[in-house]
Amino acid sequence: MSANIGIRGTGSYLPERIVSNAEIAVAAGVDPGWIESRTGIRERRRAAPGQATSDLAAAAADRALTAAGICASDLDHIIVATSTPDHPQPATASIVQHLVGARNAAAVDVNAVCSGFVYALAMAEGLLRTGGGTGHALVIGADIYSRILDYSDRKTAVLFGDGAGAVVLGPVPPAHGLIRTHLRGHGDEHTLISVPAGGSRRPATESTLRDGDHYFKMDGRGVRDFVGRQVPAAIHDLLSSSGIAATDVEHLVPHQANGVMLNDLSRTLGLGAANLHLTVGHYGNTGSASIPVTLDEAARAGRIAPGDLLLLAGFGGGMNLGVTLGRWSMHPPAGPRSDVRPLARDMGRDVGRDMGRDMVLAR
């Protein structure tokens, strides 16, 4: 019988600096209210000048290890999902391994952009199964998008924040843990999201810097159409192949791309009264960190109970998407994250068709 592998602990880290819509709107040439009505975002976090992606990732990792009750030296694997690494090489995961003291772990990065955490989770599960299912893996999503944004581009500058989230994957009780994952790539649409310069095809030159080709670019309408076409199909295929009805899903934790879009998407999925967990209003789109950050918020608030069925859905540049289904095995970790103030419960306003109520769309 194959081992049950699931999430043993969660953790996250959000930088201290809060950037409001009023601050971001000036350079983008828009009104703060326009940002909230179009995206559901009211504020986001920004990394300090001295912080790199590995610093955020290590802080989230420490909290996940504490929640799981294991030492870093017990880890067999560290996988960091990021599209904003510290530098082209070495891997950010290698730096995280050093920072947390995981001297026995193999370390590697995954770049599937905003779907990267689900890809990394699937890879970690596979590695643990090849080892008999008794080991532990640290899976981290971390991004600092504030370093690659053109703040005059209202299509992108208003959306993104910085952060990191982590989970410890390992053995869990019978009838719990990860059930099935579907990963899909749509490379024919890779131009929808890109950072055009800075790689082997277009190395850094005075011209690429002058033209702003090292900044993040996105075709917002194209991305929204992609999500509307591909995400529901991937979720329904996953549920069908797992023999689980859509109405049995109790929690949906999606990539926090745009709150208004996510509320629209949730109504098309046929998931019945599943809880839709959102943190985008306070943290913006944190890239590959958005799913594990949101998962940690929900876990620490006790919103997910052992035995609950939950669905994670990531999608982003490439264009890639990944969906995974699992049965929760954790009890709420002790105590809140010390670096993040409690979420304000001013969520009753009708903003972006109920977007304003982060993580409280209850059954």
Cα of first residue to Cα of last residue in the chain, in angstroms, is 35
Give me the pLDDT at residue 331, please.
80
Give me the pLDDT at residue 357, please.
33
What one-letter code names the amino acid at 152?
S
What one-letter code names the amino acid at 2?
S
Q: Which DSSP symbol is given to 142?
A: E
pLDDT top residue among 299 and 330: 299
The CATH code belonging to domain 1-363 is 3.40.47.10
Using one digit for the tens of pLDDT, what is the confidence trace for 207-251? 999 998 999 999 999 999 999 999 999 999 999 999 999 999 999
114 a catalytic residue = yes
Q: Which DSSP symbol is given to 343?
A: P
Rounded CA separation 92/339 (Å): 22
- Size of the chain in residues: 363
136 a catalytic residue = no
- Cβ atoms of 273 and 213 closer than 8 Å: no
Catalytic residue (choose from 255, 258, 277, 320): 255
Span 322-348, mean pLDDT?
A: 62
- Cβ atoms of 57 and 142 closer than 8 Å: yes
Give me the pLDDT at residue 133, please.
80
Q: Which of 160, 122, 316 is nearest to 227 (CA)?
A: 316
How far, in whole angstroms, is CA 93 from its chain's centroid?
A: 16
Rounded CA separation 259/105 (Å): 36
Give me the pLDDT at residue 269, please.
92
Using one digit for the tens of pLDDT, what is the confidence trace for 17-48? 999 999 999 999 999 999 999 999 999 999 99
Using one digit for the tens of pLDDT, what is the confidence trace for 254-278? 999 999 999 999 999 989 889 999 9
Instruction: Give the CA angle between residues 253, 195, 182 to the nearest 5°.
Output: 35
The overall average pLDDT reported for the chain is 90
- pLDDT-derived band at 335 (thresholds 50, 70, 90) equals low
- pLDDT-derived band at 342 (thresholds 50, 70, 90) equals very low
Using one digit for the tens of pLDDT, what is the confidence trace for 124-174? 999 999 988 889 999 999 999 999 999 999 999 999 999 999 999 999 999
Q: Which DSSP symbol is given to 356?
A: T
Q: Which of 89, 100, 28, 27 is nearest to 60 (CA)?
A: 100
Q: Which residues face 14 on adjacent strands? A: none
Tell me the C-alpha to C-alpha distance, in Å, between residue 261 and each of 5, 164, 189, 209, 274.
32, 22, 19, 32, 17
pLDDT at 346 over 50: no
Q: Which of 2, 9, 4 is nearest to 74 (CA)?
A: 9
Catalytic residue (choose from 4, 263, 285, 320): 285
Using one digit for the tens of pLDDT, what is the confidence trace for 54-107? 999 999 999 999 999 999 999 999 999 999 999 999 999 999 999 999 999 999
Pairing of strands 77-81, 193-194: unpaired
Catalytic residue (choose from 4, 77, 114, 263): 114
How far, in whole angstroms, is CA 223 from its chain's centroid?
A: 17
pLDDT at 350 over 90: no
Ramachandran quadrant class, 272 (left: phi over 0; alpha: psi -120 to 50; beta: rest) = left
pLDDT at 349 over 80: no
Predicted model pTM: 0.91
Q: Judge if the upstream peptide bond of residue 123 is cis by omega within 30 degrees of 0.
A: no
Give me the pLDDT at residue 343, please.
31
Residue ranges covered by each domain of the chain: 1-363
Lowest mean pLDDT: which of 9-13, 110-114, 197-201?
Answer: 197-201
71 a catalytic residue = no
